[in-house]
A and B are shown apart, each in its own frame.
Chain A
Amino acid sequence: MTTIFDCRCGERVGGLFPPLDVPERGVDQLLSERFVRSAPLRMPNLSEPQVARHYTRLSKMNFGVDDGFYPLGSCTMKYNPKLNEEVAALPGFANLHPQSDPSACQGALELLFELTGFLRGIAGMADVSLQPVAGAHGEMTGMFLFKKHFETRGDRRRTRVLLPDTAHGTNPASAAMAGFSVTEIASDPLGMVDLNALDAALDDTVAGIMLTVPNTLGIFETNILRVTEKVHQAGGLCYFDGANLNSFLGKARPGDMGADVFHFNLHKTMSTPHGGGGPGAGPIAVSDVLVDYLPVPRVVRRGEVFSLDWDHPQSVGCVHSFFGNFLVAAKAFAYILQLGDDGLRAVAENAVLNANYLQQRLKKTVPLPYDSLCKHEFVLSGKGIAEEISTLDIAKRMIDYGVHPPTVYFPLTVREALMIEPTETESKATLDRFAQIVETIVDEARQHPELLHDAPHNAPVRRLDQTQAAKHPVLTYPFSDSVSAE
């Protein structure tokens, strides 16, 4: 795989920037010798066609939602409307400095204000902050609010956060960022929070619980009201991971389930693209008890004028340089405007129907450890499909059939897990085709296991050696390989 540093280096290229139009003083003199860089930059000077070809070639070694079915569980890989990108590129948004005079950014402030209102309504909660820029960032901010809440009340004993054993890895890590320790709660045989285990864990050292609703098995916690009630009665707070909002959008609201904090993943539910790992946006909605602690600044409207309000002395402060990922918020805003209430509801209805249909078809072929009505996703087990065939082999073989593999080996409670989330933007025909592919792969696993062991066969690379990457990390280009100094 050649990198940009392997490209044949040209002479100084130039032509991007105009010549200096003020009298030249010389950088060595202006910076003074003390500050001048001594080592040359090893960055090749390339013509634009070289750059365009290199990155176009790289793009073709990627698989995006536009390339095909992408049933990556818990990631909600739905289609990203093209309008989103046009909205974010509008010069009035893209070229706006975050410290612009309020009179010069009324449109942007209005957008933030209106989106805050939409998300408040969707969550059915008291208020919203758009500042967190990723799901995990929203979780962390929520845990900061928990901490502030108990600190303000002078309650220093509550240092533990409860987590179901199916929780996303970000949950425990986010709790730890706020200084909480984590107590794991076992699931019952149906994959839901075990109420007895919950009772046993609750005491006056518990700050709260982090729940994923529906849970990571794609199953709705039918006891959700009892769970949140128990936690509240014990003096704790309830955090809801909103990664799975796609399954109940327009149908139910976390505020009506007892949530104190709920985070949105705008890059999942609200169709903004994942960008190969970001940028996303992770706004949080909160219940009455936590409103005072939300990050600052907040956007407020007085008459027809929008402004930034910093005056919240109990706030946790800032978790981002400015107002969160504004351009991502603009995409989500456009999406919600297009969908309206009917569209939002249709998202959940079709996402859940697609998941149940696919679950029904696939469970004939691959074991389904938790066989029940699912929401937006479900988890199969690759265990025992064939001897010496792992879930990883099955996943890699899917690549050969033009499908992005599902999430694998998560949740940890299912052996050899395959977590499948089709989303509402896939057709029945695509789901049928995927089911056929899985059937074919299961046959192959029994008849020609080597096809799976050696997969993928027609991807840009064959199976990669993860162990070498872990044991002998090479994390930057080894420049001794070539000369590309200035």
Chain B
Amino acid sequence: MRYIPNTSEDRREMLAAVGIPSIEALFADIPEQVRSKFEPLGLAPRSEMEVAAALATLAGRNRPNNGICLLGGGIYDHYVPSVVRHLLARSEFFTAYTPYQPEVSQGTLTGMFEFQTYVCELTGMEIANASMYDGATALAEAVLMAERIRGRGMVAVSGALFAPLRRVVDTYSWAAGIELREIPFGEDGTLDAAGIPDGASAVVVQSPNAFGLLEPLDGLKDRIGDALLIVSVHPLSLALVEPPGALGADIVVGEGQSLGLSMGFGGPLLGLFATRNEHLRQMPGRVSGRTVDADGHVGYTMAAQTREQHIRRHRATSNICTNSALCALAATVYLATAGAAGLREVATLNVEKANYLADGIAALDGFERAFAGPIFNEFVVKTREDASEVHERLHRAGFAVEAPDRLRQWGLGNALRFAVTETRTREQLDRLLEVLGGVR
């Protein structure tokens, strides 16, 4: 086997040194009743060349984006600068473990510290952790954290969360015995603040929401008493949009895939998690902190570890151990590469192009925007036609658009959701308009 360096001669010498007659004898402590039941997979070893070909064949059976991607719902077809992939490919980064030995992990730990700083800059918060698994588990953990702090057994959740977020929050909340109450959305598609129940540990809002609409967060914190305000964000939008931290949010979470990660069929992803200093002891996940070494030089190490499972065990703030460290590093390199100027630039391309398509579709006979409010890079249109038929027509023309049945849960019977990023060109958007307008 190519990955095993020892020779048969090595093995003979080692067995002799251990004083064991055979390799098989090394497994004598596993009960015979167990070993005798073993069945192999029936899988012959294959060469690297054959496996590379087999995987290329499987990958070739996918049609990424079906050509032109207008899918969204939390995961978007963004451009990843090549420097991100190249720096991440350094094996000192990707073959390292969690930085338990800080003296030989300064690369990882400095990167984590930078990541935490970037997340705080974007969200307007004071502290951030070094990542969660994805935006959905980050939100679920935020709900658990708010419940630990307030302890009222109930959390109010916007009715306009992306479905994957809501499903994961449902599962975690069920397990923790937290009741979720849904807050309706109004006719304009945003949160109906009058529908927020009293006595919640937290209020959960997503902005932009499941319809792509920016949620007006100003004044919301004042309306919800001492319930914690949890906001799930699209981080790229925060280059242009007032961050929740400036509007009183207590916990800000989000999916970081838009910051330099490929879509990867939905994983690995990157959960962002930020909060205020006062909640540090309740925050889940790892953090890197600045300190000094024996010579007084600045260095980084894992901080606030007494919250974590390896110290506090069943009283830990979370069970999370392995997270999305390398994805967080990708986001860090992406943000370093873009800078404030580049980030505003790419965010602007998203807003302008999404509005171009939204306006273009709304101008077509038989189509209109479902809701009129400001959007970032995603929106919903209603149609007088059969949305499934429209979807099918787009599909045949080479456009990947979300199936309309996923919108029915919100009572949007005949509607379609489109996401437009910087990677879409005017030529593609105009062609899409032609396909839509070409019915009649």
* A114 CB, min distance to chain B CBs, angstroms: 9
A326 near B336: Cβ-Cβ < 8 Å: no
B90 near A56: Cβ-Cβ < 8 Å: yes
For chain B, residues 34 to 50, give those with C-beta under 8 angstroms from any C-beta of chain A: 34-35, 37-48
**Contact status of A464 and B299, CB under 8 A, knowing A12-B341, A124-B39, A337-B43:** yes
Among B181-189, B345-353, B362-370, B407-415, the stretch that binds chain A is B345-353
Chain B residues near A252 (CB, 8 Å)?
27, 30, 34-35, 38
B171 near A316: Cβ-Cβ < 8 Å: yes
A319–B349 Cα gap in the complex (Å)? 33
Chain B residues near A276 (CB, 8 Å)?
93-94, 96-99, 105, 107-108, 111, 325-326, 329
- B64 contacts the other chain (CB 8 A): yes
Chain A residues near B105 (CB, 8 Å)?
61-63, 276
A17, A178, A352 pick with most chain B CB within 10 angstroms: A17
B351 near A136: Cβ-Cβ < 8 Å: no
- B439 contacts the other chain (CB 8 A): no
B267 near A328: Cβ-Cβ < 8 Å: yes
Chain A 314-337: CB-based contact to B (< 8 A → 1; otherwise 0): 001111111111111010011011
**Contact status of A320 and B240, CB under 8 A, knowing A96-B62, A275-B326:** no
A282–B126 Cα gap in the complex (Å)? 31
Q: Which of B107, B267, B297 contacts A326 (CB 8 A)?
A: B267
* A363 CB, min distance to chain B CBs, angstroms: 11
B27, B38, B94, B311 pick with most chain A CB within 10 angstroms: B94
**Contact status of A58 and B343, CB under 8 A, knowing A279-B327, A352-B26, A464-B291:** no
* B366 CB, min distance to chain A CBs, angstroms: 23
A134–B87 Cα gap in the complex (Å)? 24
A419–B332 Cα gap in the complex (Å)? 33
A60–B92 Cα gap in the complex (Å)? 7
**Contact status of A337 and B51, CB under 8 A, knowing A276-B105, A326-B267:** yes
* B364 CB, min distance to chain A CBs, angstroms: 16
A143–B176 Cα gap in the complex (Å)? 11
Interface size on A, residues (CB 8 A): 206
A321 near B264: Cβ-Cβ < 8 Å: no
- B220 contacts the other chain (CB 8 A): no
A278 near B117: Cβ-Cβ < 8 Å: no
- A356 contacts the other chain (CB 8 A): yes
- A3 contacts the other chain (CB 8 A): yes
**Contact status of A475 and B116, CB under 8 A, knowing A136-B309, A322-B267, A404-B101:** yes
Closest residue of chain A to B133, judged by CB?
Answer: A133
B61 near A106: Cβ-Cβ < 8 Å: yes
Q: Which of B15, B28, B46 contacts A337 (CB 8 A)?
A: B46
A469 near B87: Cβ-Cβ < 8 Å: no
Chain B residues near A12 (CB, 8 Å)?
339, 341
**Contact status of A177 and B429, CB under 8 A, knowing A276-B93, A340-B45:** no
**Contact status of A476 and B116, CB under 8 A, knowing A94-B263, A139-B319, A251-B35:** yes
* B391 CB, min distance to chain A CBs, angstroms: 9
B61 near A107: Cβ-Cβ < 8 Å: yes
Q: Which of B28, B81, B238, B326 contacts A373 (CB 8 A)?
A: B28
A94 near B264: Cβ-Cβ < 8 Å: yes
Interface size class of B (residues with CB under 8 A): 35 or more
Chain A 77-113: CB-based contact to B (< 8 A → 1; otherwise 0): 1111101011111111111111111011111101100
Q: Which of B262, B310, B426 contacts A94 (CB 8 A)?
A: B262
For chain A, residues 193 to 226, give those with C-beta under 8 angstroms from any C-beta of chain B: 219-220, 222, 224-225
A51 near B325: Cβ-Cβ < 8 Å: no
Chain B 272-301: CB-based contact to A (< 8 A → 1; otherwise 0): 000000001000001111111111011111
A280 near B137: Cβ-Cβ < 8 Å: no
A462–B297 Cα gap in the complex (Å)? 8
A318 near B168: Cβ-Cβ < 8 Å: yes
- B258 contacts the other chain (CB 8 A): no
A59 near B92: Cβ-Cβ < 8 Å: yes
Chain A residues near B351 (CB, 8 Å)?
27, 30-31
Among A42-50, A382-390, A438-446, the stretch that binds chain B is A42-50
Chain B residues near A415 (CB, 8 Å)?
none
- B58 contacts the other chain (CB 8 A): yes
**Contact status of A464 and B339, CB under 8 A, knowing A179-B177, A276-B326:** no
- A349 contacts the other chain (CB 8 A): yes
For chain B, residues 1 to 29, give those with C-beta under 8 angstroms from any C-beta of chain A: 1-6, 10-11, 13-15, 17-20, 23, 26-29
- Ordered nearest first, which 3 A-B pairs have the shortest CB separation? A322-B266, A98-B266, A92-B59
B97 near A322: Cβ-Cβ < 8 Å: no
A90–B300 Cα gap in the complex (Å)? 35
A278–B75 Cα gap in the complex (Å)? 19
- B73 contacts the other chain (CB 8 A): yes
* B425 CB, min distance to chain A CBs, angstroms: 6
**Contact status of A321 and B291, CB under 8 A, knowing A37-B238, A93-B264:** no
A460 near B103: Cβ-Cβ < 8 Å: yes
Chain B residues near A454 (CB, 8 Å)?
294
Closest residue of chain A to B43, judged by CB?
Answer: A340
A133 near B314: Cβ-Cβ < 8 Å: no
For chain B, residues 299 to 346, give those with C-beta under 8 angstroms from any C-beta of chain A: 299-306, 308-316, 318-327, 329, 332-333, 335-346
Chain A residues near B212 (CB, 8 Å)?
none
- B55 contacts the other chain (CB 8 A): yes
For chain B, residues 61 to 88, give those with C-beta under 8 angstroms from any C-beta of chain A: 61-66, 69, 71, 73-75, 77, 79, 81, 83, 85-87
Closest residue of chain A to B391, judged by CB?
Answer: A101
- B151 contacts the other chain (CB 8 A): no
A41 near B71: Cβ-Cβ < 8 Å: no
A55–B308 Cα gap in the complex (Å)? 28
- A437 contacts the other chain (CB 8 A): no
Chain B residues near A99 (CB, 8 Å)?
71, 73, 75, 402, 406
- A32 contacts the other chain (CB 8 A): yes
A41 near B121: Cβ-Cβ < 8 Å: yes
**Contact status of A250 and B62, CB under 8 A, knowing A276-B108, A278-B324, A462-B297:** no
A42 near B340: Cβ-Cβ < 8 Å: yes
